[in-house]
Amino acid sequence: MSAYNEENILPTATNSGAGYFQPRRLGHVNLIVNNTEAAMEFYTDVVGLEEVYRVPAIGGGFLSNGNTHHDIAVIESSSSSGRGRAPGLNHLAFELETEVDLVKGYEASTADSLEFERTLDHDIAHSVYCADPDNNSCELYADVVKDWRNARSGIITKPKSKWWPGKTTPIAETMYDPNPEIRIVSAAVFHPLRTKHAALVVEDLNSSIVFYRERIGLELIIRGDEHAILGGTCGEKNLTLVQQGPKRGAGYHHVGMEVASEEELLNSVDKWKAMGGNLIRFVDSSVRMSAYLADPDGLLVQFFVDRADETKSWESMAPDVALWNG
């Protein structure tokens, strides 16, 4: 990756030294799928997210439980944005406090000659995108409207307008809702609180840690021999990185959806099984209870409830155990 020097570290961030950006948390996961209709049905009827809006031009569907404008997005592979790619990760999106923070991080990055894939105006948010050492795309964004439900709902046909960070006065006000109305899809099998983390298997763990700490600005929370967990300023575990191995190919592994209680999780698992649904894996560990399902394209969704938050337990995990717990 061109942004690394010979010691495999990024230039020192000119804005703070701790990272070019300081995300609050993982905001959403955007996926490439083969069929938008099939994916939307799964993520509403099974996963339990509401459909918020669609963008037909890209075969795009956006879903949320009210926590934010979308927890999960799907883009159809055959669309112009899908570009014929196989189902998998399109990008991870990290939420910033304000647009001022977004512009500040962007300007500090470009001052150090760090490149971005693109910048976009999404009406409800402004975003910049860059790629990690494995070419996984990362979006850094800040909300720029509070009433996203009225700004983005139904069918969206309006083309995205051009936006360049710093060309207009950035918004200093916090625009996300600190106490959002969480909506439950009562007929769905599962009832997640929100998207909370994602897991990646990476080619070189050290390079990935450097990128997510210094370029994205996440905090290193857990560091094992072959895995790491990072998070934003909210103090959550938002990203699990695991070193690739003989039976672990590099790439996107899963998105993690937090559930309110173990009882609710177990009830949903029983309901899913009674419907004839396939449970990919059930994890009952000292740190987390998790259930894994596969969407119509085989992409994994983890529903989980945290237990004891013991750092030593996380650090001592074998990489495969960390991957399925993370």
Judge if 222 and 124 occupy the same domain: no
In a domain, 174, yes or no: no
In a domain, 160, yes or no: no
In a domain, 177, yes or no: no
Are 52 and 44 in contact, with CB atoms under 8 Å apart? no
Q: Which residue type, as a one-letter code, is found at position 241?
A: L
Whole-structure pTM value: 0.93
Query: What pLDDT does residue 10 have?
Result: 56
Query: What pLDDT does residue 41 have?
Result: 98
In a domain, 167, yes or no: no
Query: What pLDDT does residue 50 have?
Result: 95
Judge if 54 and 121 occupy the same domain: yes
Q: How far apart are CA 225 and CA 190, in angstroms?
A: 34
Are 8 and 209 in contact, with CB atoms under 8 Å apart? no
Query: What pLDDT does residue 16 have?
Result: 39
In a domain, 31, yes or no: yes
What domain count does the chain have? 2
Judge if 130 and 73 occupy the same domain: yes
Query: What pLDDT does residue 316 have?
Result: 93
Query: What pLDDT does residue 201 have?
Result: 98
Judge if 38 and 139 occupy the same domain: yes
In a domain, 7, yes or no: no
Lowest mean pLDDT among 5-14, 92-101, 201-210, 260-269: 5-14
**Beta bridge mates, 291:** 282, 303
In a domain, 187, yes or no: no
Average pLDDT for 101-111: 96
CATH code (residue 66):
3.10.180.10
- Domain carrying residue 110: 25-155
Residue 162 or residue 68, greater confidence: 68
**Looking at the predicted structure, is the pLDDT value of residue 5 above 80?**
no
Q: How far apart are CA 326 and CA 322, in angstroms?
A: 6
Judge if 151 and 196 occupy the same domain: no
